[in-house]
């Protein structure tokens, strides 16, 4: 729904820009280009309002892409080497949390916007249809079918001259004072009840039949559709006005071109005769009338007298200007919402990222390290210390100042669950030693504004039983802190147990103790078993050439979902190479997901 609203608004913006461009160029083309061109050029504006067809890169599309709320970054996560020094768990998967305050979250207004838009668009469209039906019924009530053979033969001659095969009805109606044509599939010409000369009737029939031949009623309703869809945009009503105005001007131009220059004045006099009598019923939605207002007639008469053949140079300029406007149509563009298949792939990617977050790994689009909140459990100096750093909202926590081993001071925060230890010198000594160690090994991201969330003294406890308890209780950080105390054989047994139990969070927390061979074994296993969450967690520890091999495999198999998981671990150059390859191979979905991540 969010994507739909973006697409709708982008169409409205791009349509408005194109409309203003053509409207602003009017002094240039008004007296130079044909009225026929001035009438049909508005079609490209209507299509820009209605069709979300757009090139990959456009002005409006790029603008709306900047407001896209879900962007995947190509920032590759870095993990320090695992060294079991001083009994410290150095497992460093990176965990990202968005810095938001739940109390200040704004309500999602998109559903309300969609409901308001759709309701008013539907009501407006129904209203227009109702007006049309009421008008047709009103006309039918006063219509009298013409049976005069002379008039019918004259109409038939005009139809033959214009090569119109559709049967056109002919009626008279006392409710109108100006000729008009109604109907889509079965058009009818309706004449006022008055004496008309044969020449006047010939002009009237020719005028109305040209409307019929050009399907002007369809054009008018296409404009009405755009007006209903973009009811909130005042410029769409300017478009409606321009089309209605140029419709009659272009029709007059066509009539005069068929009649010849000598008939210009006679045709103009005929138009004047119907305006001076006035018109009691006016509805541009349901019909195309011969005349509508004296103000418009003045413009029409001036255009009729200026009608002449256009020179080749004018035709060339017209064609060039039309081509330029088509380029502008494409350049304005719109926001291209992901297709159904691409949305499915993105959902699978989001599921993968969610599993990474659950396991302590996620991707951030902020280059500032302070925006990356990392939290882990460590075993140090007989204590299990659960610590995070780069936290905002530090005013909510108790705080004290530690003096680290290098003599520098650092402010450290304690949460409600750990603040009872803030005055415990043994805890402070252990925590200071841990923070000093994390600083010395250049932890990514750099440790700043640390916050201690849990402290457990484990020096007098059975580590095996405690580790089992952490596992059963789902305490990932506590389990990971004690994992470093296991032998290689015991660790391997736990890997297998965790994998078979589908405990991806625990698995991710202890991957750092695996050697490269074991990482490759579990990567292949997770790939074959379709365990995307395990595979995603292992990616953070794979070698670049291994990632490249999986990328080749998924690309060849057209497996976009799994390929997408690899993108954040590619360099910018690698991503650009893949985009070129996907473009050359015609794999549009691969190009789309790569481009979204890169740009």
Per-residue confidence (pLDDT) for residue 67, from 0 to 100? 59
Averaged pLDDT score across all residues of the chain: 80
Q: Which residues contact 9 (CB under 8 A, 6 or more apart)?
A: 64, 335
Report pTM: 0.52
> pLDDT-derived band of residue 149, with 50, 70 and 90 as boundaries?
very high
Q: pLDDT tens for residues 559-588? A: 988 898 899 888 888 988 998 899 899 888
Q: What angle do helix axes 42-50 and 216-229 make, rounded to 10 degrees? A: 40
For residue 125, pLDDT over 90 is answered with yes
Q: What is the mean predicted confidence (pLDDT) over 219-227?
A: 92
Q: Residues of the chain with pLDDT > 90: what percent?
A: 25
For residue 443, pLDDT over 90 is answered with no
For residue 222, pLDDT over 90 is answered with yes
Per-residue confidence (pLDDT) for residue 119, from 0 to 100? 94
Q: pLDDT tens for residues 64-112? A: 666 554 433 333 333 333 333 333 444 433 333 333 343 444 456 878 8
Q: What is the mean predicted confidence (pLDDT) over 179-191?
A: 88
Per-residue confidence (pLDDT) for residue 554, from 0 to 100? 92
Phi-psi region of 454 (alpha: psi -120 to 50; beta: other; left: phi over 0): beta
SS3 for 65-95, per residue? HCCCCCCCCCCCCCCCCCCCCCCCCCCCCCC
> pLDDT-derived band of residue 552, with 50, 70 and 90 as boundaries?
very high
CB 540 within 8 A of CB 517: no
For residue 182, pLDDT over 50 is answered with yes
On the 0-12 / 13-18 / 19+ scale of CB atoms within 10 A, 548 is middle
3-state DSSP helix/strand/coil % of the chain, to nearest 5: 60, 10, 30
Q: Where are the beta strands (DSSP E) in 184-293?
A: 188-192, 287-289
What is the b/e burial string over 330-369, where b = at least 16 CB atoms within 10 angstroms of the residue's CB? ebbbbbbbeeeebeebbebbeebbebbbbbbbbbbeeeee
**Domain-by-domain residue ranges, the chain?**
339-366+486-599, 368-463
> pLDDT-derived band of residue 223, with 50, 70 and 90 as boundaries?
very high
Using alpha carbons, select from 547, 551, 556, 559 the residue that is nearest to residue 345: 559
> pLDDT-derived band of residue 341, with 50, 70 and 90 as boundaries?
very low
> pLDDT-derived band of residue 194, with 50, 70 and 90 as boundaries?
confident
> pLDDT-derived band of residue 428, with 50, 70 and 90 as boundaries?
very high
DSSP state of 311: P
CB 527 within 8 A of CB 535: yes
Q: pLDDT tens for residues 444-499? A: 678 888 899 899 998 888 888 999 998 999 898 889 888 988 898 999 999 999 99
Whole-angstrom Cα distance, residue 390 to residue 411? 12
Per-residue confidence (pLDDT) for residue 105, from 0 to 100? 45
Per-residue confidence (pLDDT) for residue 524, from 0 to 100? 93
């Amino acid at each position: 729904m969010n994507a739909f609203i973006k697409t709708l608004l982008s169409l409205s913006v791009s349509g408005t820009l194109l409309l203003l461009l053509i409207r602003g160029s009017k002094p240039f083309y008004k007296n130079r280009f044909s009225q026929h061109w001035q009438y049909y050029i508005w079609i490209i504006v209507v299509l820009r309002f209605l069709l979300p067809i757009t090139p990959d890169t456009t002005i409006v599309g790029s603008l709306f892409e900047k407001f896209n709320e879900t962007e995947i970054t190509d920032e590759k996560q870095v993990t320090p080497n695992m060294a079991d020094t001083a009994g410290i768990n150095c497992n460093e998967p990176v965990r990202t949390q968005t810095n938001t305050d739940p109390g200040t979250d704004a309500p999602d207004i998109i559903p309300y916007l969609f409901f308001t838009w759709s309701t008013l668009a539907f009501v407006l469209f129904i209203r227009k249809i109702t007006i049309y039906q009421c008008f047709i019924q009103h006309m039918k009530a006063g219509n009298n079918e013409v049976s005069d053979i002379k008039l019918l033969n004259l109409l038939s001659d005009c139809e033959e001259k214009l090569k119109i095969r559709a049967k056109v009805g002919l009626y008279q109606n006392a409710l109108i004072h100006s000729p008009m044509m109604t109907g889509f599939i079965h058009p009818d010409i309706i004449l006022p009840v008055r004496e008309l000369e044969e020449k006047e009737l010939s002009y009237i029939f020719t005028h109305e039949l040209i409307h019929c031949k050009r399907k002007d009623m369809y054009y008018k309703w296409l404009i009405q559709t755009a007006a209903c869809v973009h009811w909130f945009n005042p410029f769409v009503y300017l478009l409606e006005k321009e089309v209605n105005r140029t419709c009659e001007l272009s029709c007059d131009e066509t009539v005069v071109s068929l009649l010849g220059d000598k008939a210009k004045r006679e045709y103009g006099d005929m138009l004047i005769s119907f305006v001076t009598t006035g018109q009691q019923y006016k509805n541009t939605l349901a019909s195309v009338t011969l005349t509508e207002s004296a103000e418009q007639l003045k413009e029409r008469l001036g255009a009729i007298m200026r009608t002449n053949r256009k020179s080749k140079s004018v035709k060339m300029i017209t064609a060039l200007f039309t081509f330029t406007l088509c380029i502008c149509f494409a350049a304005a563009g719109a926001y291209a919402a992901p297709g159904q298949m691409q949305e499915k792939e993105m959902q699978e990617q989001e599921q993968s990222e969610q599993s990474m977050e659950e396991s302590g790994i996620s991707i951030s689009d902020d280059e500032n390290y302070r925006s990356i909140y990392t939290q882990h459990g460590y075993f140090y100096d007989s204590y299990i210390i659960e610590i995070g750093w780069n936290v905002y909202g530090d005013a909510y926590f108790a705080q004290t100042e530690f003096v680290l081993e290098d003599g520098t001071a650092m402010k450290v925060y304690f949460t409600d669950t750990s603040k009872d230890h803030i005055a415990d010198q043994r805890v402070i000594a252990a925590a200071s030693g841990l923070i000093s160690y994390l600083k010395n090994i250049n932890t990514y991201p750099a440790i700043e504004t640390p916050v201690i969330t849990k402290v457990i003294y484990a020096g007098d406890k059975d580590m095996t039983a405690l580790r089992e308890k952490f596992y059963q209780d789902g305490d990932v950080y506590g389990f990971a802190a004690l994992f470093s105390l296991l032998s290689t054989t015991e660790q391997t047994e736990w890997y297998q147990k965790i994998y078979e139990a589908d405990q991806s969070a625990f698995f991710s927390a202890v991957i750092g103790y695996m050697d490269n061979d074991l990482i490759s074994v579990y990567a292949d296993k997770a790939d074959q078993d379709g365990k995307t969450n395990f595979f995603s967690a292992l990616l953070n520890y794979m070698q670049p050439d291994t990632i490249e091999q999986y990328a080749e495999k998924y690309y060849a198999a057209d497996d976009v979902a799994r390929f997408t998981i690899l993108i954040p671990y590619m360099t910018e150059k690698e991503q650009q190479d893949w985009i070129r390859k996907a473009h050359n191979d015609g794999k549009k979905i691969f190009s789309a997901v790569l481009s979204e991540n890169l740009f």
